[in-house]
A and B are shown apart, each in its own frame.
Chain A
């Protein structure tokens, strides 16, 4: 493959791995304090699945980069401006409803993308996606059901879910932004053009929100800057402070 493709490929893998790393860390923040025991365990399972996917994506990214780094190095030794996750996944958990709304937006995207990546011309990507697809299929069923249950629930839960939807929706559009690297990967059959997922995504989200009796904002304005590294929210730095401090304070420490 040409050099330009390797750059685009690395960028793609970092985006995939950083999404699951940051969201996995966010979801893990619920561990031990979710509203009920069953949800606590379910969220921890989801977080672990996401961190597991991170190991695969960043492991491959480190190989493609070819500088002798590992997935751990990429996770724990990069600074905020090196991260390529979408802004949505670094947003604070808020209440349980906001966490599940964010989770649904991510799961819905992931559940549409993974089956397509499973047919990637890059066998490594196809292999990772095939494994992730099964986990994601369960995640999205669970988060969609919870969004419906809380949206079409009590007056209080409905109000909170509508507020979560209004707050998070402007961050959804970033999933579907495409750049030259995406175009190169799409042309090579390695990954679909992000924009090509939007119609299926919108139809899916509209269906779930209708069942949840929630109203999608009409405005399609999209915050961006995460997946291209231009500018993250203030929240990412705080996540990294907590996530990376041990490796920063005690370099190379293991247990």
Chain B
């Protein structure tokens, strides 16, 4: 199965252009005030991980959005190839029995 790396910098070698001197791209994940999971909120440029966290603090948490920040350089993220959407995801569309909605849950169990 193939995958793609969306955050990869364009390869400018051998095309007669000098390499791009741009800060690497980082993906930012923030855990909100009441949320349990870090959620992807966007991306930004920064020279290193520490500055990426500082920039994320300034760009994404100035309205009190978060209590914790993760950053990861975009090039380290691997993603499914858009062309394989069919074989990857469509087979599960017809298998509604995989949703656990056919059970009667006893009242004593309470909130699940």
Chain A interface residues (CB < 8 Å from chain B): 36-39, 41-42, 45, 138, 141-142, 145, 149
User: What is the interface of chain A mostly: helix, strand, loop, or mixed?
Assistant: helix
Least Cβ–Cβ distance between A151 and chain B, in angstroms = 13
12 inter-chain pairs at a CB distance below 8 angstroms, sorted by A residue, are A36-B23, A37-B44, A38-B44, A38-B45, A41-B58, A45-B58, A45-B62, A141-B54, A142-B54, A145-B50, A145-B54, A149-B47
Interface residues of B (CB under 8 A from A): 23, 44-47, 50-51, 54-55, 57-59, 62
Instruction: Collect the chain A residues with CB atoms within 8 Å of residue B44's CB.
Output: 37-38
The distance from the CB of A6 to the nearest CB of chain B, in whole angstroms, is: 38
Residue in chain A with minimal CB distance to B58: A42
Determine if B47 and A38 form an interchain contact, defined as CB atoms under 8 angstroms apart.
Answer: no
Q: Of A37, A41, A149, which is within 8 A of B51 by CB?
A: A149
Smallest CB-CB separation from B26: which chain A residue? A38
Interface contact A38-B46, CB-CB below 8 Å: yes
Identify which of B45, B50, B54, B57 contacts A36 (C-beta below 8 A): B45
Asked, given contacts A36-B23, A36-B45, A149-B47, whether A41 binds B59 with beta carbons under 8 Å apart, the answer is: yes
B102 to chain A, nearest CB (A): 50
Give min CB distance, B26 to chain A, whole Å.
10
Tell me, rounded to whole Å, the shortest Cβ–Cβ distance linking B36 to chain A. 26
Given contacts A41-B55, A42-B55, 18 further A-B contacts (CB under 8 A): A36-B23, A37-B44, A38-B45, A38-B46, A38-B55, A38-B59, A39-B55, A41-B58, A41-B62, A42-B54, A42-B58, A42-B59, A45-B58, A45-B62, A141-B54, A142-B54, A145-B50, A145-B54
Residue of A with least CB distance to B56 = A38
Shortest distance between the CB of A130 and any CB in chain B (Å): 19
- Across the two chains, which residue of chain B brings its CB closest to A150? B47
Q: Which of B45, B58, B59, B62 has the most CB of A within 10 A?
A: B58
Docked-complex contact B58 and A38, CB < 8 angstroms:
yes
- Contact across chains for A145 and B59 when beta carbons are under 8 A apart: no
The 9 A-B pairs with the shortest beta carbon distances in the complex, nearest first, are A38-B55, A42-B58, A45-B58, A41-B58, A41-B59, A38-B44, A142-B54, A45-B62, A38-B59
